[in-house]
Structure 1
Amino acid sequence: MNLYRRLVIASLLLTLVVVVFGAYVRLADAGLGCPDWPGCYGKLTPTQAAEQIHEAYSADPYGPVSMRKAWKEMIHRYLASGLGFMIILITALAWRHRRQAGAAPVAAGLLLGVVIFQGMLGMWTVTLLLKPAIVTAHLIGGMTVLGLLAWLSMRALSVPRAEVSPGVVLLSWLAFAALAVQIALGGWVSTNYAALACTDFPTCHGSWWPEADYSNAFHIVRELGMTAEGELLSHEALTAIHWMHRVGALTAGGLLFALAWVLSRRQATQGLGIALLAAVVLQVLIGVANIIFSLPLWLAAAHNAGAALLVVVMVCISSRLGLAASPADAGQRLSGLGRVDQPQAR
């Protein structure tokens, strides 16, 4: 089991690197640095494909292919491949030690299935030329892998549960669901290059509800930068994508702040509440800074890192609270939220 625990924790850390570096690759416009998959022009390394890369770069110096972009793309693939191999080992060890405390063979098997599908999404991201739906799904898949590994880490370390009211459990469900939706919205903003559709803050184009085209903005099956009818995506559509991300941030942020406040008032969960509050504040500040400073590459990648950190913190909270209880059960005693969760007497 010691090897299993070390592998799970190492894989969690590597997944954080893969998720953030994947965002960096996309934001650096290197997602098609190698236009085939899994190699680069059929080669193992960009160096071996130098001739083809040079030809593509000479034909279009401002295009998606260059030696630097190819290396960025391939490093991401190498890291993801290494992570996939580690998760295969985790699954095998989880089933081998399935009768021991801390092992979670079913969850490990689910994780392996998600990783396989994530690999297919990575292939389709390249072969289908960065379709927004595929790229966003790839981001969601990466966050799902991260969340599952965080949960496996908590199980492997045998972290005890904290007793809380069903109202807190319900609030946790709502906050986690809102975070998931917000991450999907953030992925949609990034993959549609809508991060600077609104350049002022807190308003957008000087309005609290700017003119926007929501129907084309959230049409899923379409090419990058195009509507479903094949026309160029309007600025109003990009505005709709960006503005809904801000609305989602307000909703998710409010629920996460509320959860952090409730957790910080109990001695058993105070540390989790403080960690969640710090992660939310950091992510909000990074998001606002991206708008004010016009989306510098390192800050945009940091925003993805902040989202990943929130996922890990929320999974840790979920594990500590034991979210096996259903939201419906929790809702039966939501009115007891303020009464049950007063600070414990010292």
Structure 2
Amino acid sequence: MKQQQWLATIAIFLTMGVILLGAYTRLTDAGLGCPDWPGCYGFLKVPVQDHHVAAAQQAFPERPLEPHKAWNEMVHRYFAGSLGLLIATIFFVALFNRQSPKLLPCVLLALVVFQAALGMWTVTLNLLPLVVMGHLLGGFTLLSLLAVHWLRLHPQYRVQEPKLLSLKPFAALSIIVLVAQIALGGWTAANYAALACIELPVCEAGWLQRMDINEAFDLHLGHDDYEYGVMSAEARQTVHVFHRFGAIITLLILATFLLQLWRRATNSVIKRLTLAAGSLLLLQFSLGVLNVALHLPLANAVAHNFVAANLLMVLVLIFMQLRGSNAKHSKTTSKESL
């Protein structure tokens, strides 16, 4: 059990690192820093020697080698590959341990393989926004499921508060709303719409007349290259505005849920999770405002991505605690009826 606990802990922190590197790669426009996959210009690492650089330029004349972007991309791939191997280890350790649950490690392995495929398609389809957004959601999902796996391996942190059962639907709604907002953020980033509006609170004057919802949420399939986006300025502005309104809705719904949870909870674990989620929620909203006010500074934008992943993870852990309370309550009710 100790071995599995350590593996799960390391996997969580490694996934956080991969998410940070993925955001940094995307925000430095290095998503196509290596135009092939899984190598880089036909090599296992970024070409350095003159004859290797010449061979790379000859193989990909349409995309000249930019070493700093190529290294950003390859470091992300190295970390992602290491994470894949670690999750495969988690799967096989659970497989050969008779007392370990098998379903979640199997799901984790399937998800990380699918993430690898999305990483490949991100490159081979030249940053197709649908794939880029899916890759982002897959990474966040992986982190949340690893946290659930960690919780199952640490029963001392699992609590039961049957009186919180009525909040379970609200917890599920909060997760759905947050996932939708993260997807909107991913769609905004994938279509290079983060700076489509640079004024607060909504956008530049006349934004309502320039809205183009049809193009904003069209998949735009069939283009040869999506780097720097293919949407019109009006469509990007529409995506950006939707993400801003989504942020306000998300803030209100999650804050209401967390406030109710804080008032009703008595267990210290649930209290700490609620406090963590509330802090992350306020930090995330503040980072979003700063992204606009400061015109998307790199460190702030990377943090905005990272905090969203952690907020989702904590909300999922809260939901699992409420779900555990439900299981405990069902057993108690069953015994009383007998």
Length-normalised TM-score, structure 2: 0.87
C-alpha spacing 1:288/1:65, structure 2 compared with 1 (3 Å): farther
CA distance in 1, matches of 2:91, 2:59: 46
On the 8 A contact 2:147/2:317 being kept in 1, the answer is yes
CA distance in 1, matches of 2:134, 2:217: 14
Q: Which moved more, 1:293-302 or 1:245-254?
A: 245-254
Partner of 2:91: 91
Shift of 1:104: 3.0
CA distance in 2, matches of 1:62, 1:295: 29
Shift of 1:63: 6.1
Partner of 1:11: 11
On the 8 A contact 2:164/2:261 being kept in 1, the answer is no
Partner of 1:151: 148
On the 8 A contact 1:264/1:271 being kept in 2, the answer is no
CA distance in 2, matches of 1:15, 1:52: 32
Q: Deviations over 1:156-197 (max 9, x none)?
A: 111223314333101100000001111111100001110111
On the 8 A contact 1:136/1:184 being kept in 2, the answer is yes
Shift of 1:81: 0.4
C-alpha spacing 1:54/1:208, structure 2 compared with 1 (3 Å): same
Shift of 1:273: 1.6
Match status 1:176 vs 2:175: yes
Shift of 1:272: 1.9
Partner of 1:128: 125
Unaligned runs of 5+ residues in structure 2 are: 328-338
Look up the equivalent residue of 1:8 and give its one-letter code: A
CA distance in 2, matches of 1:293, 1:167: 41
Residues 26-175 of structure 1 mapped to structure 2, 5 A cutoff: 26-47=26-47, 51=51, 53=53, 65-99=65-99, 103-158=100-155, 159-163=157-161, 164-175=163-174
On the 8 A contact 1:194/1:239 being kept in 2, the answer is yes
**Aligned-CA RMSD value:** 2.7
Q: Secondary structure at the match of 2:172?
A: helix
On the 8 A contact 1:54/1:67 being kept in 2, the answer is no
Partner of 1:255: 253
Q: Secondary structure at the match of 2:272?
A: helix
C-alpha spacing 1:208/1:216, structure 2 compared with 1 (3 Å): closer
Partner of 2:201: 202
Shift of 1:54: 6.0
Shift of 1:315: 1.9
Q: Secondary structure at the match of 1:193?
A: coil
Sequence identity (%): 39
More helix by share: 2
C-alpha spacing 1:41/1:300, structure 2 compared with 1 (3 Å): same
Q: Which moved more, 1:165-174 or 1:298-307?
A: 165-174
